Structure 1
Amino acid sequence: MRPLVATVDLSAIRHNYAVAKRCAPGRQAFAVVKANAYGHGAREVVSALHDEADGFAVACLEEAAEVRALHADARILLLEGCFEPSEYLIAAQLRLDVAVQGPEQAHALLETQLPSALNVWLKLDSGMHRLGFSASAIRDWHPRLKQAKQVAELNLMSHFACADVRGDSLNEDQVECFLGLLDLDFDQRSLANSAAVLTIPAAHMDWVRPGIMLYGATPFADISAVELGLRPALNLEAQLIAVRDVPVGESVGYGARWVAQRPSRIGTVSCGYADGYPRHAPSGTPVLLGGKRVPLAGRVSMDMLAVDLTDLPSASVGESVELWGAHLPVDEVAAHAGTIGYELLTKITARVPRRYRN
């Protein structure tokens, strides 16, 4: 078997969910498990949180159906709503909470005969300008949906654009926009994503929606997961499969971009961009070998990457290499690659086996 595995610590996910609940005392929390639980395995994560999560949030009906098969009673929030009128029937059969983010979805809902009413989350565009109704449109739609036979609970939700940037003025503007609708008779309200759960108590409302924090990564550029009390949930581990000496002036990898400036010792690691490691990660991006950071050398290949072992002469073939995880934060690797931990976690491909620890 190729020596590459993603080991998921389910106890860390339970711990991180508990952190979210402690940050927002008295509130309920949808555990966000879209995108295969951010690459960690939706089936396993939902099972791990079965008796602890107040609900789960997903992006599409396919994800919702998978969660419902695992949990007969959980509230499941469909974050982007229904894309076709017929999907409301499926949503009713699955007993979902459904976001309604625009007039097309609202009209389709009101025109559909449902076997049972849905909990509807009317989405406010409070300033991100991606999805949702304006505040004035919310006021227009509220009475129409409140009395509709297709609607059980009528709830209000929105989403932050800059909650991961502490002190950004847009955060305050979005909270004020949301609070400006408190006079309307909504049953439940939800605004806070992970960053807001951690740092914007005024946004906690009735339900919070922890996502990236569940998996032990930070939503902030300037606060680490460890500082936030989060535990990394996924360890991506490969192996050193070859070691060679490279003379001064010789190159390593595709494009010959990395050239030895000194007599060098180069190791080859069993992970590449077809496994989800970022191809654009530059030379110098760290991996962990023998408890020490060593830098990438040259371009990441489809199935392998090279590291400079010159300052770690004891390294030998067969040793374990942590690409990110318990001792090398995914956020640190992401920063070197010019991206965010979210992307690295969700891009781990299906050919990488997942192993689970409870």
Structure 2
Amino acid sequence: MARPLHAQINLAALRANLAKAREAAPGAKVLAVVKANAYGHGLSRVLPALDDADGLALVELDAAATLREHRYTRRILLIEGFFDERELAELSARRLATVVHNEEQASMLERAVLPRPLEVFVKVNTGMNRLGFAPDRVARVCERLAQAPSVAALRLMTHFARADEEDGVAEALATFEAACRGLPYPRSLANSAGVFRHREIGGDFVRPGIMLYGATPYPFDTAEMLGLQPVMTLRSELIAVQELRANDSVGYGAQYTASRAHRIGVVACGYGDGYPRGAPNGTPVLVCGRKARIAGRVSMDLITVDLTEVPEARVGSPVVLWGEGLPVDDVATAASTVGYELLCALAPRVRVHVTEVGRVDLVL
């Protein structure tokens, strides 16, 4: 009998979330962001649900190469670009689009002799101050790259630092517009937060990421408020139940001490599976479909929960760590992190079930 912990990946939910992105950005091409192994969901697992996307965006060249080897033919954009001049031949051979965000990359492209020129997204730094050309450099960089034989087409893009805020893009958008004034190239501006909250920014390409997986890009608007469905549900079972007396403690460091007699359930899941070790007492968990709370320190393989509100719980009772009925963002907030991190942290040892309309597949 296998350990009961597993992640369920709901492809129908992913399709529905992708449809939400397309609905929110009519007329724009949708580049589904699948970096970090599709935010921990497994790129090969979710790819069948992304057939309505116009292309994919990711960081990892090896993942892009695998997509091409599996006959994915639509646009693939490398959103950090390339890291070495020697990679350009592979980008050309595999028909990969690339971001160019610094002078070194631009110079490598100018020197390159390629069998097939590249589609290039020139990134503008509008205040994030991570990647991108300073606004006063953009026009000159585009002029140079437009003349480079290794460049087939130019696009312009940026990434907003505060798109999750109500008034978070106005200044950055003005910076982008000033930097790109007069440049006749298609544009990509909106990530998940921009797609929903800042439709005024427009653009020819949008890059939805976290919203596709059913988590919110905002600190206050929930996924449910946005009409998003959770794609990953992390499920387990109670594998033991302990009867505590008043003043009994639980787990390493005695981080929880019972103030009264009650039952504790032991769940097969821990930080070795990707559950956040820093989740404190009170972090929500569903047991038998009802909300219980963590009581005691998260260990590598186990967590313990107070069963006071679930008197019917026993060994074998179903547990949801996040997903259906318990948004990953609620768990992340309790653990002082974000839903992105929890999804991406799913450990390789966790079994994965992929559900599609009419069938269930088990992926180890």
| Shorter-normalised TM range | over 0.9
TM-score after normalising by structure 2: 0.96
Asked whether the equivalents of residues 289 and 319 of structure 2 are also in contact (C-alpha less than 8 Å), the reply is no
Determine if the alignment matches structure 1 residue 318 to structure 2 residue 316.
yes
Asked whether the equivalents of residues 128 and 160 of structure 1 are also in contact (C-alpha less than 8 Å), the reply is yes
Which region of structure 1 is more displaced relative to structure 2, 307-316 or 25-34? Answer: 307-316
Q: C-alpha root-mean-square deviation of aligned residues, in Å?
A: 1.0
Structure-2 separation of matches of 1:267 and 1:286: 13
Give the C-alpha shift of residue 94 in structure 1. Answer: 1.1
Aligned to 1:200, which of 198, 201, 218? 198
Residue of structure 2 equivalent to 1:118:
118
Give the C-alpha shift of residue 310 in structure 1. Answer: 2.3
Give the C-alpha shift of residue 182 in structure 1. Answer: 4.1
Residue of structure 2 equivalent to 1:41:
42
Structure-1 separation of matches of 2:170 and 2:220: 20
Structure-2 separation of matches of 1:346 and 1:186: 37
Structure-2 separation of matches of 1:146 and 1:251: 68
Give the C-alpha shift of residue 70 in structure 1. Answer: 3.2
In the TM superposition, 1:1-358 aligns within 5 A as 1-50=2-51, 52-168=52-168, 171-358=169-356
Which region of structure 1 is more displaced relative to structure 2, 57-66 or 292-301? Answer: 57-66
Residue of structure 1 equivalent to 2:362:
none
TM-score after normalising by structure 1: 0.97
Structure-2 separation of matches of 1:155 and 1:2: 49
Asked whether the equivalents of residues 236 and 319 of structure 2 are also in contact (C-alpha less than 8 Å), the reply is yes
Output one character per residue of 1:86-144: Cα deviation in whole Å (capped at 9) or x when no partner.
11111111101100010011111111211110000011001100000011111221111
Structure-2 separation of matches of 1:247 and 1:183: 71
- Which AA in structure 1 matches 2:228? L
Give SS of 1:180's match.
Answer: helix
Tell me the percent identity. Answer: 48
Structure 2 unaligned regions, length at least 5: 357-364
Output one character per residue of 1:218-271: Cα deviation in whole Å (capped at 9) or x when no partner.
011111111101111111001100001111111100011110011121110000
Output one character per residue of 1:177-199: Cα deviation in whole Å (capped at 9) or x when no partner.
11224433343210100000001
Structure-1 separation of matches of 2:306 and 2:184: 58
- Which AA in structure 1 matches 2:81? G
Structure 1 unaligned regions, length at least 5: none
Structure-2 separation of matches of 1:49 and 1:15: 10
Structure-2 separation of matches of 1:333 and 1:72: 35
List, as ranges, runs of 4+ consecutive aligned residues in structure 1 with deviation greater than 6 Å.
none
Structure-1 separation of matches of 2:190 and 2:163: 9
Asked whether the equivalents of residues 274 and 345 of structure 2 are also in contact (C-alpha less than 8 Å), the reply is yes
Structure-2 separation of matches of 1:183 and 1:244: 67
Give the C-alpha shift of residue 67 in structure 1. Answer: 2.2
- Give aligned pairs, total: 355
Structure-2 separation of matches of 1:335 and 1:107: 43
Asked whether the equivalents of residues 68 and 74 of structure 1 are also in contact (C-alpha less than 8 Å), the reply is no
Structure-1 separation of matches of 2:239 and 2:180: 60
